């Protein structure tokens, strides 16, 4: 008797889990059972309302909710009609990726060209901004192969909002890091770890944790959009690798032309 009961419970649980999975990636119409893309608020087939309309994104509430309940917050970024702060966050994202690249070059590669300077900061950030737009366009095209439908502006918003933990470091940590370590925080000459070991490690660990959390959020976003772990991981690796590779290639070309 007990065995049969357990089996029944398991069946119900599997069915329930399947429903959650299904509704996480698509919206199923109550009226006609048609499957709709996540960004739709009315059914493609019968125009029935699928969900309450979400108009705006509150910046601080969204950033906080990304820590508390990542998946539902990422979905509400897709739902929002206006992607508020998109340009502002995209600019900060570009500056931060460029800064990480400058620090990595100084700390590990000792590349004489990629140094912290106002011209490198401006040039690199504008380059990253343009390449990000192109890569998200490409990623959206690959997501939409087959039946799946996602939008460019949703994928762009998911990317820059996923990086808000890392980007916040530009606003809150960078002024403190610069006040303590000055230019040495970027050029590692000498390394900030030699200057103030414990303080440097604390800041580096915070920055690293924020980057890991951002990558997790972006992976989650791509999973929501594709419903495929393989596609999500591949897109994440593709985006990050091409951003850093292309930035270093363009810096090399730029400086070989100058000298």
Residue ranges that bind Zn ion, judged by CB under 5 A:
29, 31-32, 34, 43, 45-46, 48
Sign, CA torsion 7/9/13/16:
positive
Q: Could you tell me if 68 and 93 are in contact, meaning their C-beta atoms sit under 8 angstroms apart?
A: no
Alpha carbon distance 203, 177 (integer Å): 8
Cβ at position 29, least distance to Zn ion in Å: 3
CA distances from 146 to 68, 107, 154, 226 (A): 33, 44, 18, 11
Nearer to Zn ion, 51 or 82 (CB): 51
| Tokens representing residue 114 in the block | 């990629």
Nearer to Zn ion, 32 or 109 (CB): 32
Cβ at position 22, least distance to Zn ion in Å: 15
CA-closest candidate to residue 118, choices 133, 102, 132, 104: 102
Cβ at position 48, least distance to Zn ion in Å: 4
Sign, CA torsion 254/93/223/47:
negative
Nearer to Zn ion, 29 or 131 (CB): 29
Q: Give the number of other Cβ atoms within 10 Å of residue 110's Cβ.
A: 10
Nearer to Zn ion, 28 or 133 (CB): 28
Nearer to Zn ion, 32 or 202 (CB): 32
Nearer to Zn ion, 3 or 147 (CB): 147
Alpha carbon distance 192, 159 (integer Å): 30
């Amino acid at each position: 008797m007990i065995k049969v009961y357990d089996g029944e419970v398991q069946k119900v649980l599997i069915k329930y889990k399947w429903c959650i999975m299904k509704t996480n990636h698509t919206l199923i119409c109550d009226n006609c059972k048609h499957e709709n893309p996540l960004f739709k608020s009315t059914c493609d087939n019968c125009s029935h309302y699928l969900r309450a309309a979400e108009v705006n994104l509150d910046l601080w509430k969204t950033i906080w909710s990304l820590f508390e309940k990542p998946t539902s917050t990422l979905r509400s970024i897709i739902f929002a009609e206006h992607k508020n702060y998109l340009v502002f966050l995209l600019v900060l994202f570009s500056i931060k990726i460029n800064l990480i690249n400058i620090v990595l070059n100084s700390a590990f590669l000792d590349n004489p060209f990629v140094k912290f300077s106002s011209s490198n900061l401006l040039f690199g950030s504008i380059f990253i901004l343009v390449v990000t737009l192109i890569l998200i366009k490409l990623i959206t095209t690959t997501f939409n192969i087959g039946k799946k439908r996602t939008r460019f502006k949703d994928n762009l918003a998911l990317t820059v909002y996923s990086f808000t933990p890392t980007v916040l470091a530009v606003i809150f940590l960078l002024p403190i890091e610069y006040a303590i370590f000055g230019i040495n925080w970027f050029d590692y000459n000498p390394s900030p770890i030699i200057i103030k070991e414990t303080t440097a490690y604390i800041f580096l660990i915070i920055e690293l944790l924020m980057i890991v959390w951002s990558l997790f959020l972006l992976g989650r976003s791509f999973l929501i959009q594709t419903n495929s772990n393989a596609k999500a991981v591949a897109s994440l690796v593709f985006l990050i690798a091409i951003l850093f590779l292309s930035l270093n290639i363009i810096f090399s070309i730029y400086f070989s032309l100058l000298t």
